[in-house]
């Protein structure tokens, strides 16, 4: 019987692109336990938001994440617009969804490359990142920037899409769809990918619910939940798309879900371009937001993004709280890696598409207790949705066994 060994992975580690620490307890080559430690990238963005006017907060929130910048900015604005009671013109909603879907394409292509790199399949990394340039160029063309697009303003969007640009988007979508079909072929047929990823990082549907997995991580474990379909924000109520899920429950499933979502994103973009309504781009927005509070949800490429904003009638928010999808997913990593091998650690961590700088928040627990129990919190949320959105969630089953 070999001795147990604790190996620290991170905070600085060649396999991780961002600082996060994992203490892996090993029994031989098998992982006994894994301890996730966050907090190496805490930037105090929530607190900084309280000292800046909404206009500045928008740009700050956009810089929470370098990949899903539009997701965070839109999510934050949705909350502020709800408090201010602004009715966003349809064209603005379409453009927000359009940029959001392009962001999803660029994020998923990036993930596919990173995941391929982690398993040593660098050809796929080169291929996907080459094709990602098409979408990056397209975003630069439409918004003026490659990553922090700054396309949102309070009350609408800033930039319009011309007829010529529409043609370019459609042309790029055709090229990307052709490439993605090839990647779908590679991920399903290529024997090295299949053997390397199958049954690695297994997360059962029960555990996915228990650990609160969101986005592609949850959907790969049979949890068919997508905020775009559930809480139809922006223009998602106007387009047809299916929620891609998979029943492999492992890293292979997560790859298939993301490739499937790429194909869906192309179809959504084509529908949005076709239906783009002719309305103004924005409505005038006040500098001072009336007192109130709102929660906004958004399906970022990595999963559900939640923003809470409380306004107090001034031009600065009183409280901004954001929960990035990685915080929901990172808990599941320890479950995924139970009885796994040390060699699988990096690919399993990469499979949740982690973004640790989005995630790092500081929470001070008073006496180690939260004020609401889980049951009370669930009741409160069901009532809130019934009252404010007219959606009845009473019949939604929480776990598989209830």
User: By the criterion CB under 8 A, which residues form the site for another protein?
Assistant: 52, 55-56, 58-60, 63, 126, 130-131, 133-134, 137-138, 140-141, 143-145, 148, 150, 153, 158-159, 168, 171-172, 175, 178-179, 191
- Smallest gap from Cβ 113 to another protein, in A, equals 13
CB of 268 to another protein, least distance (A): 20
* Smaller CB separation from another protein, 165 or 238: 165
35 versus 55: smaller Cβ distance to another protein: 55
Q: Which is nearer to another protein, 86 or 154 (CB)?
A: 154
State how far the Cα of 359 lies from the Cα of 344, in Å rounded to an integer. Answer: 23
Q: State the nearest-atom distance from the C-beta of 139 to another protein, in Å.
A: 11
Cα–Cα distance between 15 and 347 in angstroms, integer?
Answer: 9
Q: Which is nearer to another protein, 38 or 80 (by Cβ)?
A: 80
> Looking at beta carbons only, is 44 or 144 nearer to another protein?
144
- The nearer residue to another protein, 106 or 179, going by C-beta atoms, is 179
Nearest residue to 320 (alpha-carbon basis) of 77, 158, 155, 71: 77
Phi first, then psi, for residue 302 (nearest 5°) are -95, -10
* Closer of 52 and 338 to another protein (Cβ): 52
Residue 122 or 392 with smaller CB distance to another protein: 122
Q: C-beta of 64: minimal distance to another protein in Å?
A: 14
CB of 161 to another protein, least distance (A): 11
In the complex, least distance from residue 89 CB atom to another protein, rounded to whole angstroms:
17
Least gap, CB of 102 to another protein (angstroms): 13
Q: Closest approach of Cβ 165 to another protein, in Å? A: 9
Q: Rounded to 10 degrees, what is the CA torsion of 88, 94, 99, 102? A: 150
Give the contacts of 195 (CB within 8 A, at least 6 positions apart): none
| Eight-state DSSP code of residue 183 | H
Give the strand pairing for 21-27 and 152-153.
unpaired
User: Cα–Cα distances in Å, from 272 out to 175, 202, 265, 338?
Assistant: 18, 36, 10, 43
3-state class (DSSP) for residue 396: coil
**Beta strands in 2-43, from DSSP E residues, in sequence order:** 4-9, 21-27, 30-37
CB of 306 to another protein, least distance (A): 23
Q: 375, 349, 358: which is closest to 306 by C-alpha?
A: 358
Angstrom distance (rounded) from CA 190 to CA 184: 10
Q: Which is nearer to another protein, 62 or 250 (CB)?
A: 62
Q: Given the complex with another protein, which of 10 and 113 has the nearer CB atom? A: 113
CA distances from 384 to 91, 112, 167, 357 (A): 29, 38, 43, 30
Q: Which is nearer to another protein, 75 or 244 (CB)?
A: 75
CB of 175 to another protein, least distance (A): 5
Report the SS3 class of residue 136: helix
Closest by Cα among 63, 71, 56 to 41: 63
Q: State the minimum distance, in angstroms, from the CB of residue 137 to another protein.
A: 6
**Number of C-beta neighbours around residue 34 at 10 A:** 22
Query: Which residues lie closer than 8 Å to 13 by C-beta, 6 or more apart?
Result: none
User: 257: burial class by Cβ within 10 Å (0-12, 13-18, 19+)?
Assistant: buried
- What whole-number distance in Å separates Cα of residue 316 and Cα of residue 288? 8
């Amino acid at each position: 019987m070999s001795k147990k060994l604790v190996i620290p992975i991170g905070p600085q580690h060649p396999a991780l692109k961002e600082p996060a620490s994992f203490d892996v307890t090993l029994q031989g080559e098998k992982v006994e336990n894994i301890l996730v430690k966050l907090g190496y990238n805490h930037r105090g963005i929530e607190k900084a938001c309280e000292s800046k006017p909404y206009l500045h907060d928008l740009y700050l929130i956009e810089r929470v994440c370098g990949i899903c910048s539009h997701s965070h900015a839109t999510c934050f604005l949705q909350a502020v617009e709800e408090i201010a009671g602004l009715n966003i013109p349809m064209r603005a909603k379409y453009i927000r969804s359009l940029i959001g879907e392009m962001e999803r394409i660029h994020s998923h292509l990036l993930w596919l490359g990173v995941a391929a790199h982690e398993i040593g399949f660098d050809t796929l990394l080169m291929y996907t990142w080459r094709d990602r340039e098409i979408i990056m160029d397209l975003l630069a063309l439409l918004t003026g920037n490659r990553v922090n697009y700054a396309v949102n303003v309070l009350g609408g969007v800033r930039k319009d899409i011309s007829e010529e640009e529409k043609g370019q988007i459609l042309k790029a979508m055709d090229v990307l769809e052709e490439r993605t079909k090839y990647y779908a072929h590679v991920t399903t047929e290529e024997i090295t990918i299949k053997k390397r990823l199958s049954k690695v990082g297994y997360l059962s549907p029960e555990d996915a619910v228990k650990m609160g997995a969101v986005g592609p991580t949850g959907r790969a474990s049979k949890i068919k939940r997508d905020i775009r379909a559930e809480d139809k924000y922006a223009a998602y109520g106007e387009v047809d798309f299916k929620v891609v899920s998979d029943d492999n429950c492992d890293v292979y499933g997560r790859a298939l879900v993301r490739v499937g979502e790429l194909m869906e994103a192309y179809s959504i973009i084509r529908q949005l371009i076709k239906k783009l309504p002719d309305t103004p781009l924005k409505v005038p927005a006040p500098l001072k937001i009336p007192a109130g509070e709102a929660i906004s949800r958004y399906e970022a490429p990595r999963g559900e993004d939640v923003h809470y904003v409380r306004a107090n009638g001034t031009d600065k928010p009183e409280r901004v709280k954001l929960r990035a999808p990685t915080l929901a997913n990172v808990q599941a990593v320890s479950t995924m890696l139970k009885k796994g091998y040390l060699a699988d650690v990096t690919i399993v961590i990469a499979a949740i598409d982690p973004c640790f700088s989005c995630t790092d928040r500081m929470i001070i627990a008073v006496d180690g207790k939260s004020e609401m129990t889980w049951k009370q919190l669930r009741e409160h949320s069901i009532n809130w949705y019934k009252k404010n959105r007219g959606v009845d969630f009473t019949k939604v089953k929480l776990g598989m066994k209830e």
